[in-house]
Amino acid sequence: MNRDLSYSAVMSRKNEIMKKAIGIDYSVFESGSIAFDYERMMREAGYSLEEIQDIQSSVSVGNTPIIELRNLTALARKLAPKGKGARIFIKDEASNPSGSFKARRAANAVYHAKKHGYKGVIAATSGNYGAAVASQAAMQGLKCIIVQECYDSRMVGQPEILEKLRACEALGAEVVQLSVGPELFYTFLCLLEETGYFNASLYTPFGIAGVETLGYELAMQFREKIGRDPDKVVVTHAGGGNVTGTARGLIKAGAENVEVVGASVDLSGLHMASDKAFNKKSFTTGHTGFGLPFATWPDRADVPRNAARPLRYLDRYVLVRQGEVFYITEALAVLEGLERGPAGNTSLTAAFSLAQEMDEDQIIVVQETEYTGAGKHPMPQLSFAKQNGIDVRFGNPSEEVPGTNIILPEHPSQIKARDYDLKKAKLSYIKNCVNNNKVTEVNKADIDFLVKDAKTDEKFVTEALTELGIKLI
């Protein structure tokens, strides 16, 4: 049977394609105009923590070490007021088989695919998840296709993305390279339909649950090593799965009083799907071009209901600048003898600043690191920025303008974590729920869902809905 492969026809079949490629009927979790039963979805469509731990340990994923950054802590204390400067730790996820925490998600997704008889897996990602899926597929003997946005319309690719392309191919995956734009999702759907492979989405319940082991391990390791839970955990925020899974793992460990802080690189004004902006940014993930859209509308993902719900779990959200992350990347290597990639160093940049607000006897943890490679180092990234007309210089990072310049700090005291107003994000989320679901009235179930999903109270939600002209029934 010949199928219509026009863009409009394929997009009209997306729900049918996704249901076959994931095996989840999301409609059973629906309960209102806006609401759905999130916890039931996580429980019935995912795996228990114990099951995931067994899956991951069988493929050498997880149980990564905690490392104290004594020299960076000492530097932070020199810059902090007397008595301030929390101890800084990292959880070294670069020791996973594919070099990042994404191995936790991939181990679960690929295991699920093999268990249900799929012959291969497909993932649409330009990040570390591609290498993670390729690695796990190789271990499980499954075929693997990774769909990447690699280039702008001039066929110029970013060093970091091309490094991840290399990693995926080295691990046996077929990589489909695309230019930035709407063709990514269309091509992804076509491949799922053509091959019958499993959609190893970042945003399924079992994918997100795979990260829960990270938060759980972190709490248990600190209790064993230090005798208590850390005070803050800083998580690089992009699509929201890292925040969601880590926070849920902390909760399952009983570490509910740990403050969860999201951190993104401030790329305000650069659209993540813009051909013009594609090579004007030096960070391919962990930036506001992903962090804010996915926080304020998580269901923009490649599944009907995204299991990554960052606003449910964020206590605080901070932004750092590109130049600051490059600086901390170099400082980590020079002061601590650790070369790590930019994603985890985004959180480390924030943690270095936040530690200076905290007391010396407190603990702040960067919950993941990632491997580094030729395209991820600061030098090729900065050289690429210069080639694309970006002014790279030393100065005050607060004056940095994304897409125009990258300003490296003249002194580490200039590194600052700048708060983003979560209230603003929550209001945007509620507005998006109303607009995207085309609702004119909501019931108590919808309101209760929004209270939980935005981590707020009923008064906040009802006032926001009233302001939008929505009838409360």
pLDDT score at 9:
92
Q: pLDDT higher for 78 or 162?
A: 78
Residue 170 to residue 84: CA distance in whole angstroms: 46
Owner of token pair 């800083």:
234
Q: pLDDT higher for 273 or 456?
A: 456
pLDDT score at 443:
93
If we measure between CA atoms, which residue out of 420, 409, 426 comes closest to residue 465? Answer: 426
Fold exhibited by the domain 62-99+206-419: Rossmann fold (3.40.50)
Assign 3-class secondary structure to 346-365. HHHHHHHHHHCCCECCCEEE
Count of other CB atoms within 10 angstroms of residue 39: 9
pLDDT exceeds 90 at position 183: no
pLDDT score at 104:
97
Helices (H) and strands (E) in the chain, counts: 19, 15
Q: pLDDT of 374-430, one tens digit each?
A: 888 899 999 999 999 999 999 999 999 999 999 999 999 999 999 999 999 999 999
Q: Is 36 helix (H, G, I), strand (E, B) or coil?
A: strand
How much is the average pLDDT of 225-243?
A: 97
Q: pLDDT of 373-386, one tens digit each?
A: 888 889 999 999 99
Residue 222 to residue 217: CA distance in whole angstroms: 9
Residue 263 to residue 393: CA distance in whole angstroms: 23
pLDDT exceeds 90 at position 461: yes
Please give the single-letter amino acid code of residue 438.
Answer: K
pLDDT score at 32:
72
pLDDT score at 260:
98
Mean pLDDT score across all residues of the chain: 95
If we measure between CA atoms, which residue out of 144, 140, 143 comes closest to residue 111? Answer: 140
Strand-pair category, 405-409 with 143-151: unpaired
pLDDT exceeds 90 at position 249: yes
pLDDT score at 373:
85
Residue 467 to residue 473: CA distance in whole angstroms: 15
Compute the CA torsion angle 324, 308, 48, 31 (nearest 10 deg).
Answer: 160
Owner of token pair 């005291």:
413
Categorize the per-residue pLDDT at 1 as very low, low, confident or very high, splitting at 50, 70 and 90: low
Count of other CB atoms within 10 angstroms of residue 448: 15
Residue/partner pairs of 465-468 with CB below 8 Å, 24 or more apart: 465/430, 465/434, 468/430, 468/431, 468/434
Pick the CATH number of 7-55+100-202 from 3.40.50.300, 3.40.50.1100, 1.10.1020.10, 3.40.50.9100: 3.40.50.1100
Q: Where are the beta strands (DSSP E) in 297-404?
A: 316-320, 363-366, 391-395
Residue 411 to residue 396: CA distance in whole angstroms: 9
411 vs 323, 327, 351, CA distance in Å? 12, 10, 17
Q: Give me the phi and psi of 77, to 5 degrees please.
A: -70, -30
How much is the average pLDDT of 460-471?
A: 96
**Residue length, the chain?**
473
Q: pLDDT of 278-328, one tens digit each?
A: 899 988 889 999 999 999 999 988 888 999 999 999 999 999 999 999 999
How much is the average pLDDT of 58-77?
A: 98
Q: pLDDT of 132-150, one tens digit each?
A: 999 999 999 999 999 999 8
Percent of the chain scoring above 70 in pLDDT: 100
Is pTM beyond 0.85? Reply is yes
Contact yes or no for 301/404 (Cβ under 8 A): no
Categorize the per-residue pLDDT at 14 as very low, low, confident or very high, splitting at 50, 70 and 90: confident
pLDDT score at 274:
85
Q: What ranges do the domains of the chain cover?
A: 7-55+100-202, 62-99+206-419, 423-472
Two domains, one topology: 7-55+100-202 and 62-99+206-419? yes
pLDDT exceeds 70 at position 334: yes
Q: Where are the beta strands (DSSP E) in 15-142?
A: 66-68, 87-91, 120-124
How much is the average pLDDT of 19-45?
A: 90
- 13-17, 25-29, 366-370 — which one is most confidently predicted on average? 366-370
Residue 371 to residue 341: CA distance in whole angstroms: 5
If we measure between CA atoms, which residue out of 239, 400, 403, 243 comes closest to residue 324? Answer: 400
pLDDT exceeds 80 at position 102: yes
